[in-house]
Amino acid sequence: MERTLAILKPDCVRKALVGEVIRRIQEAGFVLRALRMQRLTRKEAEGFYAVHQGRPFFDELTAFMSSGPCVPMVLEKENAVEDFRALIGATDPAEAAEGTIRRAFADDKGQNIVHGSDSVANAAIEAAYFFCARELAPARD
């Protein structure tokens, strides 16, 4: 089984779409291993997105991610990273495939409802940013 980190971003929470997005995630076969609602400080958002520091969108991204509560979660499934990225769609909702979460709910490239890890290695690093090992529910049998 593979794990990935997902974050339902502040626009998802503000639009009251958390339940609908989680429903779609579970219907796609993902199992929730950890989940919480929290509000990132600007410093925490900058730490999480440090890989993007120096890029033109960094300040806007970290301001947005610290603008309201978000819902980080660890998801588990065979091929979790690739399957989740397919489920959420392209970063720009205008380019996302029909039926994807971003196509259905995102307003634009900057406020695109959900974050998904881009590799298994990054998923482990990102999950550890939000959750310690004891916070992860045991793997299913």
What is the CATH number for 60? 3.30.70.141
115 is catalytic: yes
Q: Is there a domain that residue 23 lies in?
A: yes
Share of residues in the chain with pLDDT > 90 (%): 87
Q: Taking the model in full, what pTM does it have?
A: 0.92
Catalytic residue among 115, 123, 126, 127: 115
Cα 78 from Cα 81, distance rounded (Å): 9
**pLDDT digit string, tens, across residues 12-57:** 999 999 999 999 999 999 999 999 999 999 999 999 999 889 899 9
Structural domain count, the chain: 1
pLDDT at 116 over 90: yes
Domain for residue 141, yes or no?
no
Instruction: Spell out the residues 6+ positions from residue 75 whose beta carbon is closer than 8 angstroms to its own.
Output: 3, 4, 5, 6, 25, 30, 31, 32, 33, 84
Q: Dihedral sign, CA of 116, 89, 56, 37?
A: negative
Percentage of residues of the chain with pLDDT beyond 70: 98
Indicate whether 140 belongs to any domain.
Answer: no
Domain of residue 21, residue span: 2-135
